[in-house]
């Protein structure tokens, strides 16, 4: 079973606004994820980063604005339909099931399964072939993410860093064109963070997909991202390359509370 080879379409976010009980969580946020690029969405706690990800993956519907994957509008689609279009995500907290690494990765292949329940239950030849092909692809993705030697290991026996990579590998098993990584190195030690950064670079090079990441580890962002969008209190306050963003006065004020250029203290 061959992975997707078509280039990912651009992901365009235009003037997205999200409100909760009168509170504006996102205020006309716009950015574009170029095909095959790594795009980071950063900001202080409460800036709207997770809300943004929940809009991109279909968990939240915006009050206004547009999210388009190529020519397809995503804002009125259910999460499973967005996933079927090639948008996969991980979550801040690890979400794995009981069983082995292989079992968890095969869950990621479920949306790509064509054999029906009856064919699978009766182990008809086409269902058996499809299952074998899916398992082979899951093993390839395990190797790509450094989990090959752990393929038949129960997830409960893995280290925290390895379980985070299982979640990443399961998302890749959907064969996405756009991968949303929600704090991929949260809770990891220094060595695990370095390894995860290497894995993300490798999958970008190998699979040619676009990556959107929310992350507090600025070292990781600066190493991985081609472009960065900065949010603060639901508004976009900066956008550009990592070097441009880390020198931006608005970003320094949001993160560090530095003084305004005119000498007036930042609010």
Nearest Cα neighbor of 51 from 41, 60, 42, 43 is 60
Planar angle of CA 150, 108, 206, nearest 5 degrees: 70
The DSSP annotation for 125-170 comes to HHHHHHHHHHHHHHHHHHHHTT-GGGTTSBGGGS-HHHHHHHHHHH
Per-residue pLDDT of the chain (267 residues; tens, 9 = 90+): 455 556 789 999 999 999 998 899 999 999 999 999 999 999 998 899 999 999 999 999 999 999 999 999 999 999 999 999 999 999 887 777 789 999 999 988 877 666 544 445 455 566 667 778 889 999 999 999 999 999 999 999 999 999 999 999 999 999 999 999 999 998 899 999 999 999 999 999 999 999 999 988 888 898 899 999 999 999 999 999 999 998 999 998 887 665 443 333 333
The ranges assigned to domains in the chain are 10-86+176-267, 101-171
Contact 104, 155 (CB under 8 A): yes
Contact 126, 115 (CB under 8 A): yes
Nearest Cα neighbor of 96 from 146, 161, 41, 190 is 161
Residues 211, 191: Cα–Cα separation, whole Å: 22
pTM: 0.85
Angle between helices 125-144 and 190-207 (to 10 degrees): 130
- Class of CATH domain 10-86+176-267: alpha beta
Per the DSSP assignment, residues forming a β-bridge with 159 are: none
């Amino acid at each position: 079973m061959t992975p997707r080879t078509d280039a990912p379409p651009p992901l365009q976010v235009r003037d997205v606004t999200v409100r909760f009980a009168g509170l504006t969580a996102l205020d006309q946020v716009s950015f574009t994820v170029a095909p095959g690029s790594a795009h980071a969405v950063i900001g202080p706690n409460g800036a709207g980063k997770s809300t943004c990800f929940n809009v991109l993956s279909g968990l939240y519907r915006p009050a206004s604005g547009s999210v388009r994957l190529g020519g397809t509008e995503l804002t009125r689609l259910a999460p499973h339909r967005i996933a079927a279009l090639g948008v996969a995500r991980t979550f801040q907290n690890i979400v794995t099931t009981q069983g082995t690494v292989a079992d968890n990765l095969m869950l990621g292949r479920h949306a790509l399964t064509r054999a029906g329940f009856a064919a699978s239950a009766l182990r008809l030849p086409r269902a058996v072939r499809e299952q074998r092909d899916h398992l082979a692809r899951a093993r390839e993705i395990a190797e790509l993410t450094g989990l090959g030697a752990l393929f038949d290991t129960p997830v409960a026996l893995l280290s925290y860093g390895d379980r985070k990579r299982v979640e990443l590998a399961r998302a890749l098993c959907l064969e996405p064109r756009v991968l949303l990584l929600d704090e991929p190195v949260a809770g990891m030690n220094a060595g695990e963070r370095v390894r995860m950064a290497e894995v993300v670079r490798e999958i970008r090079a190998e699979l040619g997909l676009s990556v959107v990441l929310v992350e507090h580890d600025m070292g990781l962002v600066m190493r991985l991202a081609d472009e960065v969008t900065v949010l603060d209190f639901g508004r976009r306050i900066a956008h550009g390359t990592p070097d441009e963003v880390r020198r931006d006065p608005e970003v320094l004020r949001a993160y560090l509370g530095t003084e305004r250029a005119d000498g007036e203290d930042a609010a």
